[in-house]
Amino acid sequence: MQQIEQNVSRLVAAYEQARRDNAALQAEIKQKDDELFNLRSEIKQTQTELRNLQIAHALIVDSPQRTKAKKHIRSIMADIDRTIDVLKR
């Protein structure tokens, strides 16, 4: 009978330890998820900054890309102007 009580006590202790380990692991998962979210946000921001720098570089450096970019911007501006004219009517 005493051996059964000891085994039950060990089983309860092991269960409690597993619960503590599980809680710690869940907290670590939450922390890693938060880190991952922040890193993905940082990547998106860095990609946006890179794209903006590439556009700025294309507009500054005299190149075929600059000419193409300017034409594209003029086209977009013309589309916007036409849309504004239509909305004014």
Q: Answer whether 66's CB lies under 8 Å from 59's CB.
A: yes
pTM reported for the whole predicted model = 0.54
CA distance 58 to 35: 34
Average pLDDT over residues 3-15: 93
Q: Which long-range contacts (CB under 8 A, 24 or more apart) does 76-79 make?
A: none
Kindly report, residue by residue over 17-64, the tens digit of the pLDDT.
999 999 999 999 999 999 999 999 999 999 999 988 887 877 777 777
Q: Answer whether 65's CB lies under 8 Å from 54's CB.
A: no
CA distance 82 to 75: 11
Report how many domains make up the chain.
1
CA dihedral 73, 74, 80, 82 (to 10 degrees): -160
Note the pLDDT of residue 87: 86
Provide the residue range defining the domain that includes 70.
2-88
Note the pLDDT of residue 65: 72
